[in-house]
Chains A and B, each alone.
Chain A
Amino acid sequence: MEVTCRETFRSSKGKTVTVTAVIREGRVVEVRLTGDFFVSDDSLFERLEAALSGRDCEGLKSLQLPRVLIGADEGEVVRALLKCLNC
C-alpha cells in the first residue's frame, strides 16, 4: 500500500519547510521539499531529494547528507521523514 505523508515544520532559522513523501512498504519512495528556504547550489538540491528517496528507517538514520539547504537543516528534514515512517 502506498501513502502520501506531509510534514510541515518551522526550521530553526525561521523558514517553513514542507516534506511531502510517498511511503510504500516502510520505505520512502519519493520526496519533495517545498518552502521558503534557499539552497547553496541549484544542482545540489535535486541530488538531495534523490538521496532521501528509496530509504527505510535505518537507511535514513545512517544517511550522511551534504549541506545544501540555507535557512533550514537537512537533519530536520530527515526527522520529518522518520516521523512519516513511524520510526
Chain B
Amino acid sequence: MGFRLILDLEGRDPYWQMAIDEAFLILRALDLVGDYVRLWTFRPTSVSIGKFQELEATVDLSEASRLGLPVVRRFTGGGAVVHDSDGEVTWTVVTKGRNVEEVYSWAGEGLRRALASFGLKGEFVPVNDVVINGRKIVGMAGASRRGAVLVHGTFMYDTDLSLMRVLRLPKEKEAVRGKPEERIITVSKALGREVSRDEAVRALRAGLCEDCVESSIPEGVLDLASELMWKYTNEGWLRWR
C-alpha cells in the first residue's frame, strides 16, 4: 500500500471530520483518490457513536449538553467514544483491495509500533482494539464500500478519562469489562508522565506512515465533504437508530 500522509491537526468539529472521512471512502471506492493516512483532531471535544448504535441508549445527552460536547453519528460501526481535543490524536486509513478486518490488523500493527516508540508494549486484540496489559489504549472503527475500506481510530495520549461518564455502557458489557475509567488507559498514564500532542503525532507517523509522502486533503474530498455536511448536521441522521 503506497500511502500519502495528511497532517490535519488544527482541529475541526465532528460533523466536518466525519464528512471528510466519508468523502475519502466514497472517492477511494471510485478510484478518484489514492491511499491515505490522515492524522487529525476533534475540536471541540466531541462524542461519536457507531453507525448502528441507538443514540439515547448510548449517550447521556443531558450530560453531554451540560459539558458542551457535540455528538455525531459516524458512518463506521463500533461503539461510542469521547474524543478529547487536548488528549487524543485521531487517525484515518483509507485504502482498497483489503477487507475491513485486514485493515484493522494492519493498523493494529502500526499502532503497536507507535506505542513501542514510547517503550510501551501494545497488543492488537481483534476485532478492533489495541491494549496495554489488557487495558484499551486504541479503539478503531471501519466501513467498507465497493472494495474500498476506511478505518479510523483514537490514539489516547492524554485523554481526560472522566469525560467517559457521558457514555452509557450496556450493563452486559460493563459487568464483563468494567467501567471505562478502569478498562482504558492513556499513553501518559502508562508512562507516568505527561505526553504532548507533538510526541503522539511523531509516534503515529512513525508507526503508521513512516515513509509516506506528505500531502494535503484533495480538492475533490473537500468539495464532497461540504456536500456531506448536510447529513452530519442533520438531526435525522443523528437519530437514525
Query: Main SS of chain B's interface residues?
Result: loop
- Decide if B53 touches A34 in the complex (CB within 8 Å): yes
Which stretch (B36-44, B157-165, B170-178) binds chain A? Answer: B170-178
Min Cβ gap B176→A in Å is: 7
- Decide if B50 touches A36 in the complex (CB within 8 Å): yes
Q: Which residue of B lies closest to A35 (CB)?
A: B52
Cα–Cα distance between A9 and B170 once the two chains are bound (Å):
10
Q: Does A62 sit within 8 A of B, measured CB to CB?
A: no
Residues of chain A with a CB closer than 8 A to B127's CB: 13-15, 38, 70-71
Residues of chain A with a CB closer than 8 A to B53's CB: 34-36
Of the residues B57, B141, B144, contact of A40 by C-beta under 8 Å = B144
Residues of chain B with a CB closer than 8 A to A71's CB: 77, 127-128
Q: Interface code A24-38, partner B: CB below 8 Å = 1, 0 otherwise?
A: 000000001111111
Min Cβ gap A24→B in Å is: 22
Of the residues B75, B141, B176, contact of A10 by C-beta under 8 Å = B176
Of the residues B75, B79, B143, contact of A36 by C-beta under 8 Å = B79
Residues of chain A with a CB closer than 8 A to B142's CB: 38
Min Cβ gap B93→A in Å is: 15
Hey, which bits of chain B sit against chain A, CB under 8 A? 50, 52-54, 57, 75-80, 99-101, 126-128, 141-145, 170, 172-173, 176-177, 241
